[in-house]
Amino acid sequence: MVKQRSALDSIPAYKQGAMPSTSDVVKLSSNENPFPPLASVRAAVAEELERIHLYPSMAAPELTSRVATLQGVEPENIVFGAGSVEVATQLVQASAGQGDEVMFAWRSFEAYPIIAIGAGATPVQVPLTADERHDLDAMVDAITDRTAIIFVCNPNNPTGATLTHAEVRAFITRVPSDVLVVIDEAYEHFNRDAETAIGIDLYREFPNVAVLHTFSKAYGLAGLRIGYAVAQADVAANLRKVSVPFAVSALAQTAALASLDAEAELGERIDDIVSERARVTEELRAQGWNVGESQANFVWLRLGDDTELIDAALTRSGVLARAFPGEGIRITIGSPEANRRALAALAGVRQEATR
C-alpha cells in the first residue's frame, strides 16, 4: 500500500445526483437548468471549437473585465475557476491548512467538508436552526483561534432558506476581521427575497468578505464548468497561485461571455423557473407536505426517518431527486412536465400513506 493521507478516510465522497438509466426518467437531483443551451451560446462555443488545440487564456481578460464592470470592482478582484466549486477550493487552500478550521452551516453544500478535509483542515459544521436557516449566533459561538474561513450559503443548498442583509451584516461584525467570510451565492438569480443579503454590498463594506458566483445554475452552463470569486486583491492573487493552471477552458469562457450577452433571454427562463417554484410549492402544501419557502431552483422536503422510503417511491415513479438519508429530499425545479411527474409521484405516496 502506498502512503496516503489518513485524513481522506473521513471525506464523504461527493455524491452526484442520480443519473437516469432510461429516457422515461426525470432527473431533478442536481439543480441543473431544465432549458437547453441558447442558440447564441451554442454558436459561440462551436466557433471556439476551432481553437481547442490551444491552451485557454488563464487571465481570461475579456470575461474578467466584463464581470468586473458588472460587479463594480476592478479586474484584479475577479478570479475564475472550473465551476465555483474550484474557486471555493482555492479559497480554502489559500486560507486554511493543517490545524485550521473551516466553518459552515450543516446541512449545507456537500462540497464544503470535502474541500476542507482535502486541504488538510478541520471542518466545523454548525447545525441549522429548526426553520432550516443558518444559526448565525451558534456560528459566532463556534469561532476559535483556529477558525480561518467561514462559508455562508445564501440561499442555502439544500434547504433554499435565505438570510437577510441585516443578519449577515451583524454576523460579519462579530467575526474577527482576520477570518475570511465567503458568501456563496450560487442561486442568487432565483432569489426574490427583498430583504436578502447581497454579497457584493457586504464585500464592499468588509475587507474580509469574498463572494462566490457561478454560471452553472441560472445561466445553464453546469457542463462547461465556470464560476468566480470576488475578493480583495491580496486574496485574489493567492487564489490564482493555488489554482489549477488552465482549468477554465476557452469554451467555458466563451459560453460565459455569450450568456452575459443574452441576459434578457436568460432572465425570462429564470422567471419561468421561479414561477414554477411557486406553483410546485403551493401544490406540495396542498398535498400536505411540510415544505419551506425556497429562494433557489429547488424545493426541500424535511422528512426525517421517512426520507429513504419516500425517495424509493419517487425512484419507482421515475423521478430522481436528491435524498439525504434521515434528513430530507431536495427536488430541483425542472420543466413543467418534469415537475408534474414529481408532483404526481408525491401525491401517490400520500395516497398510499393514508390508505
Ligand X SMILES: *Cc1c(COP(=O)(O)O)cnc(C)c1O
Residues that bind ligand X (CB under 6 A): 31, 83-85, 109, 153, 157, 184, 186, 214, 216-217, 222, 227
291 DSSP 8-state letter: B
Would you say 85 or 103 has its CB closer to ligand X? Answer: 85
Would you say 291 or 296 has its CB closer to ligand X? Answer: 296
Whether the Cβ atoms of residue 90 and residue 81 lie closer than 8 Å to each other: yes
Q: How far is the CB of 102 from ligand X (least distance, A)?
A: 14
Q: Buried b / exposed e across 326-341, counting CB within 10 Å, b at 16+? A: ebbbbbbbbeeebbeb
Would you say 248 or 250 has its CB closer to ligand X? Answer: 248
Would you say 217 or 349 has its CB closer to ligand X? Answer: 217
Would you say 85 or 175 has its CB closer to ligand X? Answer: 85
| The three grid cell numbers given for residue 299, joined into one nine-digit string | 424545493
* Cβ-proximal residues to 62 (8 Å cutoff; 6+ apart), any chain: 253, 257
Whether the Cβ atoms of residue 296 and residue 155 lie closer than 8 Å to each other: yes
Q: How far is the CB of 214 from ligand X (least distance, A)?
A: 3
Q: How far is the CB of 305 from ligand X (least distance, A)?
A: 25
Question: Is residue 16 classed as helix, strand or coil in its secondary structure?
Answer: coil
Q: State the first-to-last Cα distance of the chain, in angstroms, to the nearest integer.
A: 55
Count of CB atoms situated within 10 Å of the CB of 178 = 9
The residue among 204, 212, 192, 198 whose CA lies nearest residue 67 is 212
Q: How far is the CB of 325 from ligand X (least distance, A)?
A: 19
Q: How far is the CB of 216 from ligand X (least distance, A)?
A: 3
Q: Rounded CA gap, 345 and 296, in Å?
A: 22
Q: How far is the CB of 108 from ligand X (least distance, A)?
A: 7
Whether the Cβ atoms of residue 260 and residue 77 lie closer than 8 Å to each other: no
Residue nearest to ligand X (CB): 83
Kindly write down the DSSP assignment for every residue of 36-80, as one continuous string.
PPPHHHHHHHHHHGGGTTSPPPSS-HHHHHHHHHHHTS-GGGEEE
Q: How far is the CB of 256 from ligand X (least distance, A)?
A: 11
Specify which residues 79 forms β-bridges with: 229
Would you say 123 or 227 has its CB closer to ligand X? Answer: 227
Q: Rounded CA gap, 176 and 142, in Å?
A: 12
Count of CB atoms situated within 10 Å of the CB of 61 = 11
26: left (phi over 0), alpha (psi -120 to 50) or beta: beta
Would you say 102 or 345 has its CB closer to ligand X? Answer: 102
Q: Rounded CA gap, 281 and 273, in Å?
A: 12
Would you say 63 or 85 has its CB closer to ligand X? Answer: 85
Q: Fill in the amino acid letter for 195.
A: E
Would you say 184 or 276 has its CB closer to ligand X? Answer: 184
Q: How far is the CB of 116 from ligand X (least distance, A)?
A: 14
Q: How far is the CB of 68 from ligand X (least distance, A)?
A: 19
